[in-house]
Structure 1
Amino acid sequence: MFKNKLDLIQSDKNCNDEMLILPKATIKALLLVIFGSLIVSFAIFFMVLENKEIVVVPNLYSLTIEDAIIELQRKELIPHIEFKFSSSALDKGKVIEQGPKPGTVLRHGNKVIIFISKGAIINRVDSFIGKNIDDVIINLKANSFDNSKLLYHIVEPLEVESELPRGIIIRQNPSPGTQISSLTDLQFLISKGKDRLDKHVKNYIGIYYKDAIASLLNDNISFDINLANTGDFGNIVFQSIPPGTKINESDKILITIAKPKLDNKIIFGILTYKLRQHPSYVDISVRLKSLDGENSLIYSFKSKGGLIKLPYEVYKGSTIELYIYDKLINKTVVN
């Protein structure tokens, strides 16, 4: 019994061994197929490498413009040259960027862009002395500065007592003609002007609101507005600072207007808007555009910014437009 089992196991083992052994002819055939495949693969690989239509983009960084062009022509690539400023004067005339990047595979005749340094930006500070600071800032912001032009960073200006009109630039830092090569902080010393002198409050009570507002705006006196339902339609019925009081620029007077009596086609309201702060006075105008397209001026005054409240009475559907100089900054349709 034991013997039969051992014979059976030995028989199975011999059978498995026979299944794993391949004929020599088959093995040789397989080896030939594998070897032939490798030869074909290597042949294709070297044919691609030796293909004269394919080149690798060279590293052109720090080369002079002449050497970079020669290197690209040697690779039968077309150079496309652009110029830009760099952070160092030592880079002038050399490649500071390229595209495509080094190592990129291209075909002959493809274009490679190389950026050549024009050196560091060297310029001289302009003279702004004697000009109005708001005009200067508006002009600087309006200009489109590209990489080849000077860019100023305007620092908060300083005000000093002066006989010159308000906002006139007396001094600047850096001074005119200073050589600079990068983004430059520019600070102005400007005149406070004569209109910083103390003013005296007038008597506005009993005056129609349009005349009172025009007087306050003309005197550059800050004011706030309240409304009241009384019989003095449209007139000023209260002022917080008594007539004849001496005030300075920081003082604000509160006036109360009796609501005017109007028909149903006309609307009375108060235009409220917060202006951006300016270092000196800017020209403000409030204009009316009627339904038939006609334009008229409601208010014209100077302001340094902050919250403004301006009463109006206009026909329904009219448009009230707020301007700084000739730039429209707000539009309100009255309904």
Structure 2
Amino acid sequence: MKANWWKKLHSFGMDMQTTEEIIRTNRKLIFTVVAVTCGFMILAVLAAFFVSVKSPERVMVPDVVGKELTSALQEMQVKELYPKILLRYSKSPEEKGTILEQSPAGGSIVKAGRRINLTVSQGVVLDRVEDYIGMNIDEVRIRLQTLFASSSVPMIKLPDFPIYKKDAAEAGTILEQMPAANTSLSSPITLQLVVSSGPGREEVPIPNIKGLSLNDTLLQMSRNKIIFDFTAQIPEEGQEAGTVVSQKWPANKQTLPAYSRVEAVIALPDAPYKNLIYGLIDENLPPYPTALNVELRAEPQQGSPYVIIVFKHTGNRLTVPYAVPRNTRLILSVSGNEIKRFTAD
């Protein structure tokens, strides 16, 4: 069969033996030429593909800070940029709906189709004065501190010393407020308040703190409506540091009017004891018409800040014993207002 095919091809003038010999001799060269040709074809196809797929155009990010959200979105659309909206409260009601921040910043060069973060004001936390009548002033103070915790300028502040008057309502209850509820807020205000000082003199039991440790003494101070005026002495033999060694007791009395004063003596060493610095805060405050919250807070060099004590006080002489690690910062405040700050060393 093969001989017949060779004869037929030879009759057409083709010398297949010579051709076969040429292919056998130069097959490496032929394969190389074929491979290079295929490579060029593949490169040509890839080049045509990437030319047909156009890379995103580079554009300049518009500066939209301070502009209305609608205008900002239109400018982003023109540049083929996609905004990601983030909401945040601001300190002015006039800023509601405007751009507070953007990222990347205006003027940056980015590819079209890039996502741009836009922080938009949703106004102030409160745009109207709430109705605080009937609420306790300490509860209102905590509420406002929580609402404006992230704001540099709170829209509503409470007065340091509101007006107090006797009333059947529990002491600390807000009786009147100015501005009235539902008044629009256009700028920060300080509320004017009339607060109940209580219906009259309340009788409370006198706690016995003699022999108590410092921590137990602080606990009694926070739980009872008796004000202790402490004096300090160096611990004598058999007396533990921080222990109350004596307490004056009114003759034949088990109760006193609320926030009456009782004198006590506490043993406090004048040198570090068990790696603690002992001391006695002794401050003169203005008189308050009703008992206000007093807080002593500690900020140690190592570890988290913590509250040593929170208790009620009517002003004038204030004494608070403490024991903290060396170089701890102590902050004394009344109704959220800092009164004293010092380092225990």
Query: Under a length normalisation based on structure 2, what TM-score does the superposition of the two structures give?
Result: 0.46
Could you state the TM-score of these two structures normalised by the residue count of structure 1? 0.47
